[in-house]
């Protein structure tokens, strides 16, 4: 790999973006290929699983699961909670929540939705070591699910929690008997839910097609059919949007967003929540990363502002905390770019001559290759010997879940606006803590905050936890990812900052 100096690489990136934009203006516009009865959504990655309890951070997976299944509540784009399969709820004491359930709902195989269905789903989540399951149990401390009557359920936690409603928005409810009697691989490929759509077909690595669920309890969606297509290349997704063969495209970057604008389409910008960073595998193959001074040096070595200008068209800022505004600690500030300070910290840690370091990225986030290469060029300037390595997405996910990345790795995390949830991912041994970071003082602050119902007291604990983890630098902190979608002009939808799309809420003209 050829490494460029930061300034040269930045100029090249901005020049290539300008050329791409000029070329986009010359692309001929085709007639719309889709009618108003079909919405085609193009993403870079395929769906990973259709098991309602296997929801992960891969947004095509979430977008499809949200279309096929219902949860008790919905997390609105502004972070508020809306009723879905639960029509109302209350906290009846510090550890008990009561939910009144929607009547007259059936799953697409004819099974009824009721309190027993919720109980079976929740117990499956709490006894199976999968992604959503671990998050629901670890985040809420759920220990009992009690059926009060056919349409009333009570959830009991081992301690007070402020996160129950937040995580219930991702606890999707499947047909209970089907989940109980069916092999896991079939559940993951032939889903049975109660949502606005149902699965029609799925050709892996190509497309997944949904059709309207005629027994859906809510308002019927505008589009009879929704097609989720896998289109890995950003340029190809943009071309399809302008040609009219895709109605919505996901995973485009600010520097290419202008190419979405045409006579029949436009770019949509949403202030993002996902915090992009280079994760630092403290327990990986490079022992230098165990040293806090080395991790702080990495943060001082990289000019994040320049990368934002070059790659993101200046449309975001460096993150000042692992918690999103407005809940971030106002006393924290982004690490300043100071290569001399970085060199001094490396020398203090015993690495004045640097050390070899592998930087890994996958196709999960657009621009991973470019970001990794420019970070490598900065690290090279302070004496580190970087190697950039592309990793296939499935393998990358396995490496993250097993904390087996080699050195540092480009990723984004926590498209959230809930500080307790954002902080917990870096606690010792958490399923999503791919860095291996562990600080018992930090853990104690985070767990106490999550159980503190008084808002002011909880905020003080969260601010202290943010300060602790910021100084420990388990990440090379970068930026909040601006979320850019492309859409056909006839599509109306309130696009989300977490990058998921809900085709059942889209209207077509």
Three-state secondary structure readout of 188-202: HHCCCCCCCEEEEEE
d(CA 139, CA 161): 8
Q: What is the pLDDT of residue 51?
A: 95
Exposure string for 284-306, b = 16+ CB within 10 A, e = fewer: bebebbebebbbbbbbbbbbbeb
CA 178 to chain centroid, in Å, comes to 28
Choose among 363, 387, 392: nearest CA to 375. 387
Model confidence pLDDT, tens digit, residues 230-259? 999 999 999 999 999 999 999 888 888 999
> Helix count (H) and strand count (E) of the chain?
16, 22
Q: What is the pLDDT of residue 18?
A: 39
Q: What is the pLDDT of residue 414?
A: 64
216 neighbors 194 (Cβ within 8 angstroms): yes
Other beta carbons within 10 angstroms of residue 471's beta carbon come to 12
CA atoms within 13 A on the CB side of 233: 4
Q: Is the pTM of this model over 0.85?
A: no
Dihedrals phi, psi of 446, to nearest 5 degrees: -65, -45
Q: What is the DSSP string of 397-460?
A: HHHHHTT--SSEEEEEE---S-HHHHHHTTSTT-TT-TT----HHHHHHHHHHHT--SHHHHHH
Choose among 47, 52, 56, 85: nearest CA to 174. 52
Domains of the chain: 6-14+273-480 (3.10.105.10), 31-46+195-271+483-508 (3.40.190.10), 71-174 (3.90.76.10)
Tokens, residue 362:
């996958």
d(CA 328, CA 439): 20
Whole-angstrom CA distances from 129 to 54, 117, 125, 320, 490 are 10, 20, 8, 33, 42
Choose among 308, 287, 249: nearest CA to 39. 249
Q: For strands 356-361 and 408-413, give the pairing.
A: parallel
37 neighbors 224 (Cβ within 8 angstroms): yes
Q: Which residue has the tokens 């639960």?
A: 86
Dihedrals phi, psi of 280, to nearest 5 degrees: -115, 110
Dihedrals phi, psi of 178, to nearest 5 degrees: -60, -45
Give the H or E element holding residue 267: strand 265-270
Model confidence pLDDT, tens digit, residues 20-73? 333 333 333 333 444 579 999 999 999 999 999 988 777 899 999 999 999 999
Each residue's pLDDT expressed in tens, for the chain with a length of 509 residues: 334 444 455 444 444 443 333 333 333 333 344 457 999 999 999 999 999 998 877 789 999 999 999 999 998 887 789 999 999 999 999 999 999 999 999 999 999 999 999 999 999 988 876 656 556 676 788 999 999 999 999 999 999 998 899 889 989 999 999 999 999 999 999 999 999 999 999 999 999 999 999 999 999 999 999 999 999 999 999 999 999 999 999 988 888 899 999 999 999 998 888 899 999 999 888 999 999 999 999 999 999 999 999 888 888 889 989 998 888 999 999 999 999 999 999 999 999 999 999 999 997 777 899 999 999 999 999 999 999 999 998 888 888 877 788 999 999 886 667 888 889 889 998 878 899 999 999 999 999 998 899 999 999 999 999 999 999 999 999 999 888 999 999 999 999 988 899 999 999 98
Tokens, residue 60:
């095509």
Q: What is the pLDDT of residue 106?
A: 99
Q: What is the pLDDT of residue 415?
A: 62
Whole-angstrom CA distances from 310 to 127, 238, 320, 372 are 47, 20, 20, 13
Choose among 419, 483, 421: nearest CA to 77. 483
Q: How far apart are the first and last CA of the chain?
A: 49
* Residues forming a β-bridge with 99: 89, 153
45 neighbors 363 (Cβ within 8 angstroms): yes
Q: What is the dihedral of CA 316, 320, 323, 326, to 10 degrees?
A: -70
């Amino acid at each position: 790999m050829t490494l460029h100096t930061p300034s040269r690489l930045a100029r090249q990136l901005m020049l290539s973006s300008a050329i791409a934009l000029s070329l986009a203006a010359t692309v001929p516009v085709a007639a719309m290929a889709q009618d108003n009865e079909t919405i085609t959504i193009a993403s870079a990655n395929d769906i990973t699983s259709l098991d309602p309890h296997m929801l992960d951070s891969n947004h095509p997976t979430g977008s499809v699961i949200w279309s096929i299944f219902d949860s008790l509540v919905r997390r609105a784009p502004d972070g508020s909670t809306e009723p879905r399969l639960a029509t109302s709820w209350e906290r009846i004491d510090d550890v008990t929540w009561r939910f009144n359930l929607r009547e007259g709902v059936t799953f697409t195989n004819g099974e009824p939705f009721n309190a027993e269905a919720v109980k079976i789903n929740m117990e499956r989540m709490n006894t199976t070591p999968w992604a959503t399951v671990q998050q629901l149990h670890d985040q809420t401390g759920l220990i009992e699910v009690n059926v009060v009557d056919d349409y009333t359920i009570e959830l009991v936690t081992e301690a007070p929690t402020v996160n129950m409603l937040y995580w219930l928005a991702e606890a999707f409810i499947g047909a209970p008997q089907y989940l109980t009697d069916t092999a896991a691989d079939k559940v993951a490929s032939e889903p049975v839910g109660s949502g606005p759509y149902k699965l029609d077909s799925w050709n892996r690595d190509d497309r997944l097609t949904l059709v309207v669920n005629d027994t859906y309890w809510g308002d019927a969606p505008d589009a009879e059919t929704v097609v989720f297509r896998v289109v890995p290349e950003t340029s190809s997704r943009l071309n399809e949007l302008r040609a009219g063969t895709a109605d919505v495209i996901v995973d485009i970057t600010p520097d290419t967003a202008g190419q979405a604008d045409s006579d029949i389409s436009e770019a949509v910008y949403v202030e993002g929540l996902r915090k992009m960073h280079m994760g630092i595998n403290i327990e990986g193959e490079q022992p230098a990363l165990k040293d806090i001074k080395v991790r702080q040096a990495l943060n001082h070595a990289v000019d994040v502002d320049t990368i934002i200008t070059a790659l993101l068209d200046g449309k975001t800022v460096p993150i000042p905390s692992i918690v999103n505004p407005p809940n971030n600690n106002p006393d924290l500030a982004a690490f300043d770019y100071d290569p001399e300070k970085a060199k001094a910290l490396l020398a203090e840690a015993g690495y004045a001559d640097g050390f070899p370091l592998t930087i890994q990225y996958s196709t999960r986030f657009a621009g991973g290759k470019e970001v990794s290469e420019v970070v490598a060029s900065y690290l090279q300037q302070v004496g580190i010997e970087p190697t950039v390595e592309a990793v296939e997405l499935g393998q990358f996910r396995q490496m993250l879940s097993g904390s087996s990345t080699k050195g540092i790795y480009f990723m984004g995390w926590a498209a959230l606006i809930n500080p307790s949830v954002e902080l917990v991912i870096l606690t010792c041994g958490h399923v999503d803590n791919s860095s291996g970071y562990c600080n018992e003082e930090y853990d104690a602050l985070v767990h106490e905050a999550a159980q503190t119902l008084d808002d002011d007291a909880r905020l003080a604990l969260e601010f202290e936890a943010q300060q602790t983890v910021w100084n420990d630098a388990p990440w090379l902190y970068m930026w909040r990812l601006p979320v850019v979608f492309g859409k056909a002009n006839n599509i109306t939808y309130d696009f989300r900052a977490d990058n998921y799309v809900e085709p059942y809420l889209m209207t077509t003209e």
